[in-house]
Structure 1
Amino acid sequence: MVWLLNNVYDVEHRAYFMSEKKMELTPLKIRSHGASSVMQYDERYTPYIEMSGLLPFVQLVSRSTPNLNAAAVTSLIDRWRPETHSFHLRTGEMTVTLQDVSMITALPIEGKPLCMSTDSEEWRQQMEALIGMSPQEPEVEDGGKKDRVPADAPFTWIAANFAHCPEDADDEVIQRYARVYMWYVISRTIFADGTGKNAPWMWLKALTVFDNKFSWGSAALAYLYQQLDDACRRTTKDGGVGGCMLLLLVWSWECLPVGRPKSSQWNTWDDHGNPVRQPTWAYKWDLVSEVASKVNLLYKQYTNEMDSLTPEQVEWEPYGVGPNFGDAHTFDLNSLRVQERHLWLMRCPLICNWAVEFHLPHRVMRQFGYFQPHPPEWVDTDTQLHKLDRRRQRKIKDWQKHHKSYVIMFEQSVQAASSIRRTQYRQHCPLAFSNYLRWFQASTRVEICPPAYEEDILEEPTEYDALAQGRYNKLIREGYQTSFAPVLNFVRKEVKKQADESEDILDNTAGGKKGESALRLFIKEQGQKLRRLSNILGCRDPEYVSPSRFGSSERNTLDDSASSGARMDDGDITSAANTHRNIVEDDVDTPEVADEMTLKAFQCSAYMLKPRKEFRRYSPDDYAKGKNPVAGGSRLSRMRSMDDEDEDDNDDESDDPEQFVVARRKKLVSKRGRGPKV
């Protein structure tokens, strides 16, 4: 079994401290902000902002942004894994993709990667050339040492000098104010850093030429991924997270019920007759209900809810399916959100200066309504890339040169995805997704809340006084709320364990000549109920099939098996899947698509759909009479089930009638000297 977690990240991860070390952590501080009302949008800025490709996003955030819920953001970040650039939930992997960037922000994906020189030598002089002024250099006392000052400007300084463009300003001055306004907005919303107080010079430098054709969308997602990579390993009380929190929160609200506010109304939207200025999907959350509870209490509540989440409670395709895709039903959406849909499934590096983060949509195909293979093809996200940042690598100035290979890779991915070649994708299969979930839940950490009780608590009669003194109940008494996830995690684990043991007993106990005894029937029914109960609680185990019915001609249909999780063999799945097959098309590059997700290898994928059982591991007691392996009773019972029902069992004179010795075939020597014959 593949373990998805890298110890380099895991020993510093918030989930490790909470689940393994049983530490209580506090919510992270959100460093991202909206565009302050102090900086007024001027209609004279519009043509220059439109040239940059930022107009739909600036139009969105310059009006108002919903209140950001730090508790909900942190409970989600606790599940982020740098190894896969996805959130590891009991529901499977989920992540923010380029599709979400287009639908929520309408930032352009196609274009040059935002990868340039960040050399800050004489940055004040360069800033003065662009916008006419720069922050005053701090004074140095006589004989004092000059401190190193970061190349950025405080937001307060920007607002004090560029809040209002003069009414009689000429075109050059208007361009200067428009450039500063964009710098202010993207520094607070897309590229918010750990301080949340300053606008780095590099983002103003990127706006030197308005029509630079940057891929702002991929840069925003790369920066968000890197912020999540760092934030999931911050455990101090003053730890924070930056990046485009509006993108993360709107995606979370659309897909997950945890922390979702109530959206009641919208402020009036004026697009000024320009389709480019129409709202994006984020407009649905223009005004949301206030978070009234204390953030620490909400954080514990959301952590519990994340642990208890099941796939049936997730909105996998929030933007709609088929002909209704992207239809908000209540207002007209920006057409730019779907113009680059052919780029949404690119498996490519996302680049934002020093940050190189891989976009891996093949790990979350369920979000696109497609077949999810397991295990997904592994792509190394590179621990060395995760160590790069602008503070620790001051010697690296030209990031375009340093990341040349990744820049070429991104450009080739865009070119390939824009070609006329079309790849046919297999649509979502519930049975295959259940198989994927069984693999995934056994390969990573999907629960953060430690179980309420130890496993051996069920071995002895319940002592309520001792139970009350346990860690879980003691914390509940001393706290301010009831945590239900620890009990749920304990019950889920024990129910699954008892279901496994019931099936093992049935597998290793032969039925009578005239059918199953009352005791055996009772055990089977209880095992089935336990298995179904564990599945309701979030497990994904197949329905138990009695050995006495093995090989029966009674087969479940694909629909029945998809709902019940029944075991199906290759032939059943292939024939049923061919009957119910539904293939969809998308403009993507063929070499980037895994074979099992395409129509070409559809028949081969039937093997993957079959629920896999572990290999039988023989112990020394299983060998006898010259090291011949002894087959267990479960195999014998299955062989007997294939016999005629009216045929009586032959008497066996051996001491153990439930076992037989596998005979060794003799080797015959060939007369022509060509070696032994079997």
Structure 2
Amino acid sequence: MQSNRNLLVRKLDPPQTWNPMLGWVRRIRDAEPLDTEESIKRYVRCQIFSILGSTLFTDKSTAYAHAKYLPLLRDFERIHTYTCLAHLYRALCHASRYDTKEMNGPLNLLFVWAWERMPCLAPVPKHTLPPAEIPVAMRWSHSERTTSWLAKTVANFRHDIDYMEEFEWRPYEGMIIPGELHGYLDMCDTVAPLLSFECIEWHPAERVMRQFGFAQPPPLGARDIPLDQHCLALRRVQLHDWTVLHGPWIVEWRNRRNTQLRDLHPLPTWDFTPT
């Protein structure tokens, strides 16, 4: 196992169970002199780690980030390949339990997904926003929340969902997708497992086929993930070799191009042609 030395700050080799405080990470980031290439890299690693802990992979404390993410900072060229969707699905799974009162994970993704598709939940009328463009979430970031929306309770939101009159299946229809992003669009309609450390979640694109311009047939049964894998939690010291523990799922992920809806459906319609 490679050491985490020097990923964030010089002369630091944190143990595997050490979870950095985000405030400390920001302080050492701001203290970097930026006078050498290595100093600049440490600054960038600290910034990325802060984003991982405060936006993408948040925990309920909002003050710490798990040390498991430190190795992700070794190779800048691979950072774009990491997924936070598995963590969001895991958080939604936990939040569905009757005794759960809080939720973590990349909630910004969840909010924007809901606001774009269910206008009744949005903090501002959707038609008052600028046209959607990449990144879509930007148009929601500076919108002013009304007092009435801030005062809504859980009961109000449940009522809005129960009596919802419209659901926008294709909120991004007609949006111009930059060419450099086409290579990453394959995941959108892929039916495959999502893997990230202890998280194994299924990506059931076949259950939302209208989102991709297809007719929606009755969906098949949900994919079963064994409880000992689906409910795995990282508590105490657990030095797993994920390539062994998740071996069969990794193989299925690597074969994901065989499970894309565009190849399985006889009459696909697309607004763009992914490369």
TM-score for the superposition, normalised by structure 2:
0.83
How much does 1:347 deviate?
0.9
Larger radius of gyration: 1
Distance 1:201 1:289 in 2: 36
Aligned pair partner of 1:175 in 38, 41, 48: 41
Partner-residue secondary structure (3-state), 2:233: coil
Matched with 1:362 is 206
Matched with 1:47 is none
Write the letter of the residue equivalent to 2:208.
Answer: V
Aligned pair partner of 1:280 in 120, 135, 138: 135
Tell me: higher relative CO, structure 1 or 2? Use CA pairs within 8 A at least 6 residues apart: 1
Write the letter of the residue equivalent to 2:190.
Answer: M
Deviation beyond 6 Å, 4+ runs, structure 1:
585-588
Alignment of 1:373 with 2:217, yes or no, is yes
How much does 1:251 deviate?
0.8
- 381 and 336 in structure 1: CA distance in 2 versus 1, 3 angstrom threshold: farther
Partner-residue secondary structure (3-state), 1:357: strand
- Residue correspondence of structure 1 range 326-337 to structure 2 within 5 A: 326-327=175-176, 334-337=178-181
Distance 1:584 1:265 in 2: 27
Report how many aligned residue pairs link the two structures. Answer: 268
How much identity, in percent, do the aligned residues show? 24
Alignment of 1:156 with 2:27, yes or no, is no
RMSD: 3.3
- Residue correspondence of structure 1 range 518-537 to structure 2 within 5 A: none
Partner-residue secondary structure (3-state), 2:84: helix
How much does 1:363 deviate?
1.1
- 213 and 158 in structure 1: CA distance in 2 versus 1, 3 angstrom threshold: closer
- Residue correspondence of structure 1 range 124-163 to structure 2 within 5 A: 126-128=4-6, 131-134=9-12, 150-163=17-30
How much does 1:373 deviate?
1.2
Q: Deviations over 1:299-321 (max 9, x none)?
A: 221111111124xx11111011x
How much does 1:295 deviate?
6.0
How much does 1:341 deviate?
3.0
Q: Deviations over 1:323-347 (max 9, x none)?
A: x2x24xxxxx644444333332211
How much does 1:584 deviate?
3.5
- 385 and 129 in structure 1: CA distance in 2 versus 1, 3 angstrom threshold: closer
Distance 1:241 1:334 in 2: 33
Aligned pair partner of 1:319 in 172, 186, 189: 172
How much does 1:422 deviate?
4.4
Aligned pair partner of 2:58 in 189, 192, 216: 192
How much does 1:288 deviate?
1.3
Alignment of 1:349 with 2:193, yes or no, is yes
- 375 and 185 in structure 1: CA distance in 2 versus 1, 3 angstrom threshold: closer
TM-score for the superposition, normalised by structure 1:
0.36
How much does 1:133 deviate?
4.9
- Residue correspondence of structure 1 range 113-124 to structure 2 within 5 A: none
For the 8 Å contact 1:280–1:337, the answer to whether it is kept is no
- 261 and 296 in structure 1: CA distance in 2 versus 1, 3 angstrom threshold: closer
For the 8 Å contact 2:57–2:105, the answer to whether it is kept is yes
Alignment of 1:247 with 2:109, yes or no, is yes
Aligned pair partner of 2:249 in 406, 416, 421: 406
Partner-residue secondary structure (3-state), 1:350: strand
How much does 1:135 deviate?
9.6
For the 8 Å contact 2:123–2:149, the answer to whether it is kept is no
Distance 2:145 2:94 in 1: 28
Distance 2:29 2:98 in 1: 35
- 382 and 373 in structure 1: CA distance in 2 versus 1, 3 angstrom threshold: farther
For the 8 Å contact 1:227–1:241, the answer to whether it is kept is yes
Matched with 2:95 is 231
How much does 1:298 deviate?
2.5
- Residue correspondence of structure 1 range 543-558 to structure 2 within 5 A: none
How much does 1:212 deviate?
2.8
For the 8 Å contact 2:194–2:200, the answer to whether it is kept is yes
Q: Deviations over 1:221-271 (max 9, x none)?
A: 1011001111221536xx3211111111111111002320226567xxxxx
For the 8 Å contact 1:348–1:358, the answer to whether it is kept is yes
Partner-residue secondary structure (3-state), 2:113: helix
Q: Deviations over 1:199-235 (max 9, x none)?
A: 222212111122236622xx21101100111122153
Distance 2:22 2:141 in 1: 24
- Residue correspondence of structure 1 range 612-627 to structure 2 within 5 A: none
Distance 1:371 1:317 in 2: 13
Write the letter of the residue equivalent to 2:68.
Answer: M
How much does 1:293 deviate?
4.8
How much does 1:364 deviate?
1.3
How much does 1:377 deviate?
4.2
Distance 2:7 2:218 in 1: 55
For the 8 Å contact 2:193–2:202, the answer to whether it is kept is yes
Q: Compare the two structures and name the one with the higher strand fraction.
A: 1
